Amino acid sequence: MSQLLPTELIRTLDKNGQEIKTVGFERFGFDSEVPIDLLRSLYLRPHFVVSAADTKDVEEAPPTRGVNAYQSKSIYFPDTHSISYTTLSRFPPVKLLSPHARKRVLVTGGAGFVGSHLVDRLMLLGHDVTVLDNFFTGSKTTVNHWVGHPNFELVRHDVVEPFMIECDQIYHLACPASPPHYQIDAVKTLKTSFMGTLNMLGLAKRTKARFLITSTSEVYGDPEVHPQNEEYWGHVNPIGPRACYDEGKRVAETLTYGFKNQDGVEVRVARIFNTYGPRMNPSDGRVVSNFIVQALRGEDITVYGDGTQTRSFQYIHDLIDGLIALMNSDESRPVNIGNGDEFTIGEFAELVREIVEKVQEEDGMTRSPRVEIVYRPIPTDDPKRRRPDTTRAKETLKWQPRWSVRMGLEEMVRYYKAKMAEGSI
């Protein structure tokens, strides 16, 4: 098997060419800064690839070293395609906060892609975190490195049903977010958006907790205004195949402001634009994961449409920075959280192919012949342009993306490559 580039040789630079050593910041009286190497250790976790014939022949799969004291020692046996799970040898160090500073935080959908990264950050910061998830799209493996920690609790629960707990902050993320998942049961998606939000807002009202809902750029539909700012009402097909998600999030926002105006609940609304990063489900139909996995497997990269439709992509760590800043700020209006760097889908496919080839070359692999980019018919109601106007986030949250698309993609390629090496994909 090919050698992987050691982490110490991988430097991540932000858009200004400065090396990224930490993520987060201290703002609005809330410190969210943690070392990037410690955070990476939670999703670039070393598993060991061994041969069933010779268990002494071990090869470290992912590119994270130097934090092995906090890692799972799970072993993958490629000959039998089986895995032996273990618990962590030691939990990662978390900040020791005073009872006054430590918050009780509820994260719905906390075992999903975005939720698990938010949970990692909140745990490392020393807060008490409870995760609610029904595991429809989420997975226990994204947060199992915290199971057993005294600050952490994982509860299998569907937010469509009421839930009682005492808490200070509620991050309401629960809802399938990719078309294949939210379209498979449109009625359940709508129930999750409305009933789930109603239940969590009721909880916030009772406990006087601050409530943040992760809305979406899909509330703008196929926009006629470009870029989209928060004052734009949107252009949505209410009966199309995407309507269960688009309109579900729109009514969830309406419900949120109903509780704010009628009952005085402290609310925050984050409209999230396209986000990518480690722990994305490789089979959820999203463009970034599709392109990377196809290229790593040597398959042709499939572009739906002629490739001229545009998207903007933000890296997961930038999103988590934005969510935490919004939760702890005084901004109660909707806020776009996204990256303003716009790519055509065709350009993005070429960039993914280039980065995959770069990583494979650095790791001693060659791919022949070169993967091709092929075009297929575009799905119904797929937006032609999508780019956020993040002026409000910059002015009120002092937030803007730090990760370039190229640097984020390289880390994500290494994540998927490691997962393939250990048999997870």
Active site residues per annotation: 245
Say how many CA atoms lie within 13 Å of 9 toward its Cβ: 7
Q: What span, in angstroms and rounded, lies between the C-alpha atoms of 101 and 31?
A: 10
Q: What are the structure tokens assigned to 245, written together?
A: 């998600």
Q: How many other CB atoms sit within 10 Å of the CB of residue 89? A: 11
How far apart, in Å, are the Cα atoms of 192 and each of 120, 177, 197, 249, 254?
Answer: 24, 11, 7, 10, 15
Note whether 175 and 188 are within 8 A (CB). no
Dmax of the chain from CA atoms? 67
- Per-residue tokens: 44: 């670039």
Q: Which residues contact 354 (CB under 8 A, 6 or more apart)?
A: none
- Residue 268 amino acid letter: R
DSSP per-residue letters across 257-300: HHHHHHH---EEEEEE--EE-TT--TTS--HHHHHHHHHHTTPP
Amino acid letter at 220?
Y
Sequence-ordered list of residues with C-beta below 8 angstroms from that of 208, at least 6 positions apart, any chain: none
Q: Phi and psi (nearest 5°) for 82?
A: -135, 160
**For residue 155, what is the enclosing H or E element?**
strand 152-156
Listed residue (13, 23, 3, 14) closest to 325, CA to CA: 23
- Residue 40, helix vs strand vs coil: helix
- Rounded CA-CA distance 158/56 in Å is 44
